[in-house]
Amino acid sequence: MRERKTSIRTPFVVFTAFFLLFLSTMPAAQEENFRWQDASRELDALAYPQSFIDSVKNKHLGKKSFPRQSVRALPGRETLIYEVQWGLVKAGFMVLTAEPDPANGQIRLGMKMMSNNFVSSMYRIRDYSITWVDDKEFYPLFFEQHTREKKFKRDQYILYDNEGGKLFIGGRKDTVIQAPPKTHNFVSALYYGRTMDLKPGDSFALNMYTRPRVHPMRMRVRKEETVSAGSKRYRCLMIEPTLSGDSERFNKNDHMTVWIAQDDKHRIPVMAKSKLKVGSLTARLVQVIRTE
């Protein structure tokens, strides 16, 4: 039985390796016409209008407020562009944005995922996640996610009641779940980590909602590494998230590592890597656009 299992697995691994090598040698001409800026503007049209967000807040929260404490602030407007690869294959771009709204004491954080022309010919991806966070402590106030993957389409939101300890989840089906105050989503958790003064061996805890429930999460700083991105080299902290509850499934199937720059005063994420059943996805920083 063992020999049969090995004989089946080995050809698959060899085939996958040759397939990735073949894709990596494909002509790059088809990507010369792909511009992440155009795909990014396409995603902008998916965001909920402010009037809709206000109506959801008024319906569930009224004029509730939550005590705030000051933490280390991020810069003004910021756009971080990453090239995404699947193994050796260029797959597309990820764009992270931060737009302060000082009049309302909030920051609008965005994460866009866009497949390039080659990948889109097989499986087109246009995903946009947005979260409004408190500009003092970076806990989320509102989250929206717009998913466009091949023929699949979904729009949903989460309204955070940090005073009442609830999440109002809307989309195809409206639900309400109990949640600890300052529960995070995956976008706010990334930016919240940038506010922390960390060193190898440190860790910090937070709660994060991932469907269908809230999980306690611990961010562990494994070590310090030098990472090359574009023409620069950054001294980074290698950070790995772990979840309790369903942590075994999360760690084995969705394992992610993030490298945060320590020689940049804004502690920008330089690289992120997610292991897949076949290969891995790597997002590496290629451009920084910032307005202080």
What Rg do the C-alpha atoms of the chain give, in angstroms? Answer: 20
What's the rounded mean pLDDT across residues 120-140? 92
Range among 5-9, 177-181, 191-195 rated most confident: 177-181
Give pLDDT, residue 16: 47
Question: Within 10 A of 99 (CB to CB), how many other CB atoms are there?
Answer: 16
Does 7 map to a domain?
no
| Cα 259 to the center of its chain, rounded Å | 13
Do the beta carbons of residue 109 and residue 98 sit within 8 Å?
yes
Task: Read off the tokens for 251.
Answer: 């760690």
Domain assignment present for 21: no
CB 117 within 8 A of CB 31: yes
CA-based torsion, 97, 149, 240, 176: positive or negative: positive
**Structural domain includes residue 19:** no
Q: Give the range of the structural domain holding residue 92, as residue numbers without chain letter.
A: 36-291
**194 found inside a domain:** yes
Report the pLDDT value the prediction gives residue 15, as an integer from 0 to 100.
42
Q: Tell me the pLDDT tens digit for each residue of 253-286.
A: 557 899 999 988 889 999 999 887 777 889 999 9
Mean pLDDT value of segment 240-248: 66
Least confident of 7-11, 46-50, 107-111, 147-151: 7-11
Q: What is the pTM of this model?
A: 0.82
Q: Which residues, in sequence order, are CB contacts of 69 under 8 Å at separation 6+? A: 136, 137
In percent, the amount of the chain with pLDDT more than 70 equals 80
Element of type H or E holding 51? helix 50-60
Q: Which residues contact 287 (CB under 8 A, 6 or more apart)?
A: 79, 80, 81, 230
Q: Is 13 among the domain residues?
A: no
User: pLDDT digits over 3-21, tens only?
Assistant: 444 333 444 444 444 444 4
Helix and strand totals (H; E) in the chain: 6, 14
pLDDT digits (tens, 9 = 90+) for 197-230: 899 999 999 999 988 889 898 889 999 999 999 8
Task: Give the CA diameter of the chain.
Answer: 67
Residue 257 lies in a domain: yes
**Number of structural domains in the chain:** 1
